Structure 1
Amino acid sequence: MRILHILHQYLPEKVGGVELYTRTLARYQVEQGDEPVIFTPAAHNPHWSQPQLEDGVRVYRVPVGERAATAVFRSNFHHPTLVDAYKQVQQRERPHLVHLQHLMGLPWQLAQAITAPLVITLHDYWYLCANAQLITNYDNTICQGPKAWLNCARCALARAGRPQTLPLIPALAPLFGYRHWQLRRVWQQAHTLIAPSQFTANVHRQMGMAADKIEVIPHGIQVPTTLLARQPHEGLHIAYIGGLSWQKGVHLLIAAMNQLPHTGVRLSIFGDTAVFPDYVAQLRQQAAHPGIVFHGRLPHEQLWHALADIDLLVHPTLWYETSSLIIQEALAAKVPVLASRIGAIQERLCDGVDGFYFPPGDEQALLALLRRFINNPTLVEQLRSNIQPVTTLAQHVDMVTAVYNKAAQSPSD
């Protein structure tokens, strides 16, 4: 099957969860004998019409120049260059199926030009929220959905650095209503909407997305054939692995760590320090415990080595994450997890069996759990022995392929 993947940005220019997922899925599809093709915007690529062959995957990178956040937002409404480029690629490749990974920064006219059966993955909440995460820009709280689009306009002004321009809110609100209407047309044309968790599916259903189109398929991971042996060390080694942004809650973990004894416990923080430098500077200033070390971004090829040296992974997120590969990877490496009880994270652990939950944002509850591990050195091993196998990449791809086959065989509208 020839599958055309569409997404808003791609490696190596941009590195994120959707990009890594798409590359992993496409590579696996090559191994299965399929023909994956990728269509994506890029800053510069004068020879875009000649696809680059990467691990057997043809990648079309259409040049759009450097775009700030406002330009990316405007591109959803109108970008004829991307529409024309997509039509050329579609005509040349003649895909049997299109898998829309993300439409951010791409015009919805492009989606409306798709002629093959369409499958969409709901990697975040972008179809419901221009901020994609259901977190408000004006007070950093969870959003429960649009209220006559006025809160959406307020959120956009706050993100643009103009939180005081309140008189503009009523004028901007219809723009977000129009955005919702156009994106509704996009997902309505899809055969299936893949949600990586039941929580993600429920949020989209509650906000009006067609329940009969949504299918829950958990993400899978590539587990090494042989896991690395645990590295012996003294004391308790805690780790955070992921993005360094406010909504990830790393400041709560540091605050709890600062209250632990200065010996016998250490915290390794793995994450790109360049994406949100102001927040990282605050974290560095906050970190008073001598055992806290910032290691920078962890290359994926080094992940399993890092996990072999960790006793406990902490995931203190504050937002409605749709999934968490790092939790699955930690469990695959037999590393117990402490995580916020929020969003899809609630589906990833069996509380008290392979890890523990704590209320999101509750520094004292997290501190109490960490002290519990310090006071009971055998607790890590107890939890490790309870960890069950996680969903593998092969299992995930089998489920996605089944969706593809149903979509490809369904009668066209």
Structure 2
Amino acid sequence: MNLLFVIHNWVGYAPHGGTEVHAITLVEALAQTENNQVYVLFPDTKTASDCNNYILFNIKNKTFKQINLSYPVTSDCYSHQEFFAKFEFILLQQNIDIVHIFHLIRFPLNTPLIAKKAGAKVIISVFDYYLICQQFNFLTENKIFCNYPNITISTCDLCLKQNFNSQAGTQNTRRNTISQILYYADAVHYLCHDQYNRFIIAYPYLQDKLNLIMGLGIGAFFTEQDIPNKLNNFALPLKVACVGNFDTNKGAELIIQIIDYYQSTQQNIEFHIYGDVRYPYSDILPSANKNVKVHGQYTPEELPNLLQQCHIALFASIWPETFVLALSEVWSCGLIPVAPNIGAFRERITHGKNGFLYELTDYGSIITILDNFLKMTTESFLNLLKQVSKVQYPSLESNINQYLALYTHIQKAKYELNTLELLSRVIIEEHHIETRHIETYLEIQQLPDPQQPIPPIPENKHLLYKAWQYYKQQGLLSTIKRSVNYTWQRIQKI
């Protein structure tokens, strides 16, 4: 099986998070199977904006290939002829069976459709909300959760105007395009039920697709046999760990407020920061408090030893996180999580049992929870550790087995060759005179009510429309020739 993973970043190229950690673990495990050839395509850039260069990484052979573009893929790019031509060439040259999309940031939005055009099966994993909104974590210009889905499309347009200087109608147009992308995907992978529920509000037909809801696995677990060692370390000062990237969307400002509060009360408590501390917090934290220790970045293998003396893990994300790999990591080290009552935290943590939840509108409740830990008895802490030892979360092995089962199922599914459907995918290339530095976009069929979630465009009507547009631009002979050539390629792959 030949697999290509498309991802927005790679470990070692730019600051990374749980998505990249999960991806590198997965592809390395898959590459160990003799019959699998595994490739990763990612942008060679350290910024989130324009990108001229990409890297194709052969996981098994550890070889890299640079892919250079003469004009960049921009942050709001739907289509890019030069990238699409090179991307399709890679798929055909490497005989790729399945393209697994991990993220489309820094890629043209229609990239999955080009994979379908080349005859590959497509799986889309959604690690955040980029396929609902360009502001992928639902934060407004003021860094406040926008409260999706309890907002209108017009509110989205106002927010996008402030954040990206977008035009009116941008959100409706973008979701219309993504509706078609998801419609043609062979499967969609979500990380939790909360995320799945938010997606089907935007795209209701996704309920009828092949969906996988699976969190990210780790390699270690906290068991009853580990409780005595953890209990022996339960003594003042209370040690609070903040694990993962330390940034605004992760609640860095709130955590600093909590640190400042305990500095003023002079209570016996320490804060330990593990992970990449982003600017400007990298300048603030070292001088914030003598009870703050910044440990820097870590590898998953190092974390159990680093967290051995800690008691609590404090999370402060200000948006509905989709899984939070760090939550599984701190549980596996025997820490009690304290987290906001939103997104994956609300779904995974049972308040008062294996952790504690607080409301984003009531930050003072964090102080109440931490104060209770400062005066907590050993017996109460023991009861919490027992509950943590019973927490169920995915293992790396279960992740890999579920992915392999999905790949096998998808690969065995036969295409129903439909000439009009093939033509509709061919036309994605947008045949016209190419002009450099001018982005081209798919012609979007506007829906009547922009404030309603966008349904999929009826397939037959959509395909006939695309075929007719291609015929008008290229003529009958070109239409027939392209259809026959591409149909033959698809038959050979089957």
Q: Given the two structures, how large is their TM-score scaled by the length of structure 1?
A: 0.85
Other structure's SS at 1:353 match: coil
Cα deviations by residue, 1:55-74 (Å, 9 ceiling, x for unpaired): 5566555345997xxx6423
- The 8 Å contact of residues 43 and 64 in structure 1, kept in 2 or not, is answered as no
Structure 1 residue 399: Cα displacement = 1.6
Identify unmatched segments of 5+ residues in structure 2: 417-494
Could you report, residue by residue, the CA deviation over 1:297-347 in whole angstroms, capped at 9, with x for unpaired residues?
334342222121211111122101001111101111221111111011112
Within 1, Cα distance between the matches of 2:170 and 2:260? Answer: 46
Name the structure 2 match of 1:176.
171
Match of 1:211 among 200, 207, 210: 207
Distance 1:205 1:301 in 2: 36
Counterpart CA distance in 2 for 1:225 and 1:372 is 23
Offset, 1:82: 1.9
More off after superposition, 382-391 vs 312-321: 382-391
Partner of 2:394 in structure 1?
Answer: 391
Query: 1 CA distance for matches of 2:52 and 2:202?
Result: 41
Matches within 5 A, 1:12-411: 12-14=12-14, 15-33=16-34, 34-43=36-45, 52-54=57-59, 56=61, 60-63=65-68, 72-74=74-76, 76-114=77-115, 115-138=119-142, 140-145=144-149, 149-160=153-164, 172-209=167-204, 210-213=206-209, 214-223=211-220, 232=233, 234-260=236-262, 261-273=265-277, 275=278, 277-281=279-283, 287=288, 289-378=289-378, 379-387=380-388, 388=390, 389-411=392-414
State the identity as a percent.
18
**2:480 alignment partner in structure 1:** none
Distance change in 2, residues 1:10/1:81 (3 Å) = farther
Structure 1 residue runs without a partner (length 5+): 163-168
Count residues in correspondence. 395
Q: Give the AA of the match of 1:202.
A: N
**Which structure: larger Rg?**
2
Deviations 1:167-219 (Å, cap 9, x if unpaired)?
xx7xx023332222222111111121110101010100111241122321121
Q: CA deviation at 1:153?
A: 3.6
Cα distance change on mapping 1:23 and 1:13 into 2, 3 Å: same
Q: What is the CA distance between 1:369 and its match in structure 2?
A: 0.6
What is the CA RMSD across the aligned residues, in angstroms? 3.1
Compare 120-129 and 16-25 and name the one that shifted more.
16-25
Structure 1 stretch displaced more, 180-189 or 16-25? 16-25
Mean alpha-carbon deviation: is it higher for 143-152 or for 121-130? 143-152
Name the CA shift for 1:331/1:188 in 2 (closer, same or farther; >3 Å): same
Q: Could you tell me which residue of structure 2 aligns to residue 165 of structure 1?
A: none
Moved more, 98-107 or 120-129: 98-107
In the alignment, the residues of structure 2 paired with residue 137 and residue 257 of structure 1 have an alpha-carbon distance, to the nearest angstrom, of 25
Q: 1:140: Cα distance to partner?
A: 2.0
TM-score when normalising by structure 2: 0.72
Bigger relative CO (Cα 8 Å, ≥ 6 apart): 2
CA distance in 2, matches of 1:383, 1:325: 20
**Displacement of 1:284 after TM fit?**
6.2
